[in-house]
Structures are given as structure tokens and as C-alpha cells.
Structure 1
Amino acid sequence: MGEIGRLDEFLAGGWVAADVFGLRPDYRAMLVAVDGLVPGRRSDDASGALTLAAQDAARAALAQTAVEEIPHVAQWRAAYREFGAKPQRTRNSLEALLRRTASGLPRVNPLTDLYNAVSVLHRIPIGGEDLNRYVGAPRLVRATGREVFDTVAGGADVVENPEPGEVVWCDEAGVTCRRWNWRQGRRTQLREDTTAAFFILDALGAVTDEALHLAADDLLAQLGRLGPDVRVARRLLAAETSADGFGTVAAPRVDPAKDDRDRS
């Protein structure tokens, strides 16, 4: 994925199934593709400072409001119930991170730490994947139950199958993230040697399009510090209601590719 055109091509293939929009017509997915990342690179203490800022902001918010009462968290809990998941047992990624801020956000690697912090700051679930490990384009669908998902259980590598009807992100090789934004698979996980990445910002009605774009801007500004020649592309997927009431993928809105390395 060394050229902007190929990033745009990857994003252009992404789609959300109509029956997913049928569950939540207010759902939008901001897809972000990035390459030119320098493995392991940090911008001085920026990554750590961002994590601390996210922790402080979350702790201040949670001193006034319970996690489950934060509007976007509450909407994701409702969305999970709509496809049969129990949000008390399988928490969306935003809720899971917010609950960890009391003891400190996890430190994994520069890319993961960065998008986790942006997720907490903007109250938006974000997933990050190694773009070079993708097979085909990303898609969000209701599972048949036959798809494969590689994960770890009890310290051992295992392959699971999602529940029929579960909302999952997939590529041609299998499930990349279960239960919309609950748990990501191992095959496409971000690593220390990742040079190209794919991010998904998930929004429901509590988040406006403007707020979603601002979160993407923040993510891209932070990513721009992870290499001298970072290239980016993004695409917003939304629903439009047809005469029969079913959701369909809206015409893609692809922002012009731009280099965000000078943002601060």
C-alpha cells in the first residue's frame, strides 16, 4: 500500500450490509487508511502525553457520570442488545477503555496506544488493524456463524465462530473484529513492525458527523508524527433510507489524500 491511489482503492471496497443499517440506521463508520509509518517510532513524549490527557479527561467525566450513562456508551449498549449480545459481559471497546482509566489505560505499542487515547478523548469506539495483513476489502455484516475468528483463550491460540446474526467486521479470510467493536482478531492486529494501518471509527446518533470528522482529524494528526512521509486517506460510510425502509451504503465521501505530518 505504498501509494495514495491504493489507499483510496482499499477504502472504496469497504461496505456495510443493509441488515446492519437496519439495526441502527444512525450508524456511521469512518474508515481511515494510512501508510508510511515508521515501525516503533514515537514523537518524543507525545504518545505518553496523549494517553495521560485521555485518562485525565475520562476521570473528570466519570466523576460526574457513570460509564453506562455516557450517551454514546449507552447507545452502544442498546445496539449490542439488538443483535443478542449482553453488554454487561461483552463491553464495546469505548466502555471497556473508559472503565480502565481509573487504573490507567493499557500500554501496548505506539499505534494502539495512540488510537486508544483518541477513542477515550472523543468518546468514540476505534479499532486499528495492520493493513498489509488484510485480504480484500473490509465489510461489516451479520454473521452466518460459519466465519472464522482467530483469538487466544487460556493462553492458547484458538479459532472461534461468531454467533449467527452477530455484527462482525470481516475480510475475505475471516472475521477481523467480533460484536461490532468488542474484540479484534490476532491475524490483523497492529504490531511493532506495522508500516500501514487501517482504522475504523464507529459512531451512533450521540455523535454528530462534525464530531466524527474532528475525531478523525485528531487521529490523523497524531499518526502524522509516526513517520516523515505518512500518507492517509479516509472515507465515511453512512446509511440512507430507501422507500422500503432498508439501509443502504451511502455514496462514499472520500476526503482528498493529504499529508498530516505537520499537524500539532
Structure 2
Amino acid sequence: MPEQTTTPGSPSDLHAVLEAAHVASDVFELRPDYRVVLVAVDGIEPGPGDQMSEELLAAAEASAAQDLAQGPVTEVPHVAAWREAYRSFGAKPQRTRNSLEALMRRAAAGLPRVNRLTDVYNAISVLHRIPLGGEDLARYDGAPRLVRATGEESFDTAAGGETVLEHPDPGEVVWRDASGVTCRRWNWRQCRRTALTDQTTSAVFILDALEPLDDDALQSAADELAAALRRLGPDVTVATRWIGAP
């Protein structure tokens, strides 16, 4: 299993955030094949989509089209694995689609164009068939933790244009920080508080993996993401950490 690595000159706070990140043992009991790579980045220069992000999106759309020409998105192996994981904690995947499936379903009509940071990680998610979430590190409270929810945690979202406070279901797998849930149902919906914006300069990205995605494929996705992030400013620094079952 790859060890934690940091790029030369990475700020110590990136290293500290990743060192404190945690996956609860009962998550591994649910899915012993689960692995995650966390990628923290600082020094991003915000900007609209550019040639690099557009090329990645176009490649992702073409790649998705090849898979979807063979059958429905639900039969893509890595999508199917996450649908089964959702069922294991009581979620209905036909109603709450994991982030990879949601993007794959949009690829035929064209992936969204948001800004170059968001476009890069969406493209890499589809290219590598891996759920990939991004959070604004400046708005994060402490370190990322993946846990089974008690049902009392807070999750801020929107309904009808208004902010709404929800609570996850007991036993639901959620990413959270010290202030509350940052992403419900493993990789379904992110909260508003830590969402990436057009002004984001530091972020943490979460690359979730289940079999049949193997370790080499997971590492390849993390490496491509880190390489793309380093192109988003002359002073970008990146740190990564791999977490798997003990």
C-alpha cells in the first residue's frame, strides 16, 4: 500500500490535516475493500475553464461514451460496486446516485463546465471511474473523517433556494469535519458550507475506491489529479495520503 507522501515545500498545515484524517473501523467492517486517497492542495489561482480543463472534460466525455455504448450506466463495474455499497447501509441507489454515476449519466449530453478547478476533478472522476469529491479547505473545520452517522449530525443543504439543515440517517456512511457532515451517503451530496467556489484557493479532494478498482488504478487517478492541480498556479503545493483497511 502506498505510503503518505508530500511534495517538497508543502505547507505543514496540509500535512497536518491529512495526518489527522480518519476512517472509522465500522466503515471497513462494512466494506473491507474500501480505500481512499486524500489530496490536499494550496496556492490555487482561481479561474474559468481553460484549454487544459477543456481537454480533460472532452477526454472524459469520450471515455464515458465508449462504456455507455456497451450497456446502461448501472452495469459499469465501478458504478455497480457503489450501488451495492449504498444498499449495504440502507440507501436506495436508484434515488440517491453516487457522484460517479451522476456524472456518467450527464456525460452523453456534456459534462458541466463550472470553473477550471471543478472541471478538472469532475473530468478525472469520469476518466478513472472513481467518485471524487472536493471541499474548500479554508472552510473546513479540522480534518476529514469517514464515519457511520448517529443521525444527530448536522448537514446544511438547500431546498427551494433556502438553506435547510438536515440530519443523516443512523448508520449512514458520511464524511464529516468537527462542525458537521460535509458529504452524505459516502459520496452522494456535499454540504454548502465547504463547497468549492470560484474563489477557492485551497482544497481537499477525496478519491473513494472499492473493488474492482485496484490499487494501481486508484494511485493513477490520484497522480493525474495532483499533476493537473499543480498546473493551476505557480505556487501550488500538494500533499496526499492513502488510507486503507488495517
Say which SS state the counterpart of residue 225 (structure 1) adopts.
coil
Aligned-pair CA distance for 1:39: 1.8
Contact 1:134 1:171 in 2 (8 A): yes
Q: Distance in 2 between matches of 1:138 and 1:94?
A: 20
Aligned twin of 1:243: none
1:173 aligned onto 2:169: no
Q: Distance in 2 between matches of 1:117 and 1:203?
A: 16
- Residues 93 and 120 from structure 1, CA distance in 2 versus in 1: closer, same or farther, beyond 3 angstroms? same
Q: Distance in 1 between matches of 2:113 and 2:150?
A: 34
Q: Distance in 1 between matches of 2:59 and 2:81?
A: 25
Give per-residue Cα distances to partners, 1:7-53, cap 9 Å, x unaligned: 111100001111111110000010000001112265x4111111111
Q: Distance in 2 between matches of 1:100 and 1:3?
A: 35
Aligned twin of 1:56: 62
Say which SS state the counterpart of residue 231 (structure 2) adopts.
helix
1:195 aligned onto 2:223: no
Q: Distance in 1 between matches of 2:139 and 2:161?
A: 23
Aligned twin of 1:183: 189
Q: Distance in 2 between matches of 1:64 and 1:179?
A: 28
Aligned twin of 2:18: 11
Say which SS state the counterpart of residue 233 (structure 1) adopts.
strand
Contact 1:23 1:82 in 2 (8 A): yes
Of residues 1, 12, 20 in structure 1, which corresponds to 2:27? 20
1:128 aligned onto 2:119: no
Q: Distance in 2 between matches of 1:3 and 1:187?
A: 25
1:92 aligned onto 2:92: no
1:224 maps to amino acid:
R
Contact 1:149 1:159 in 2 (8 A): yes
1:130 maps to amino acid:
D
Give per-residue Cα distances to partners, 1:76-118, cap 9 Å, x unaligned: 0000000000000000000110011111111222211110000
2:157 maps to amino acid:
T
Q: What is the identity percentage for the equivalent residue pairs of Structure 1 and Structure 2?
A: 66
CA RMSD of aligned residues (A): 1.2
Contact 2:10 2:238 in 1 (8 A): no
2:73 maps to amino acid:
V
Q: Distance in 1 between matches of 2:54 and 2:177?
A: 32
Within a 5 Å distance, the mapping from 1:30-109 to structure 2 comes to 30-40=37-47, 44-109=50-115
Q: Distance in 1 between matches of 2:48 and 2:183?
A: 26
Aligned-pair CA distance for 1:4: 2.5
Say which SS state the counterpart of residue 226 (structure 1) adopts.
coil
2:35 maps to amino acid:
R
Of residues 149, 160, 180 in structure 2, which corresponds to 1:154? 160
Contact 1:127 1:201 in 2 (8 A): yes
Aligned-pair CA distance for 1:229: 1.3
Q: Distance in 2 between matches of 1:41 and 1:35?
A: 18
Contact 1:93 1:182 in 2 (8 A): yes
Contact 1:130 1:190 in 2 (8 A): yes
Normalised to the residue count of structure 2, the TM-score between the two structures is: 0.94
2:27 maps to amino acid:
V
Within a 5 Å distance, the mapping from 1:133-144 to structure 2 comes to 133-144=139-150
1:20 maps to amino acid:
V
Moved over 2 A (4+): none
1:150 maps to amino acid:
D
Contact 1:75 1:204 in 2 (8 A): yes
Contact 1:50 1:117 in 2 (8 A): yes
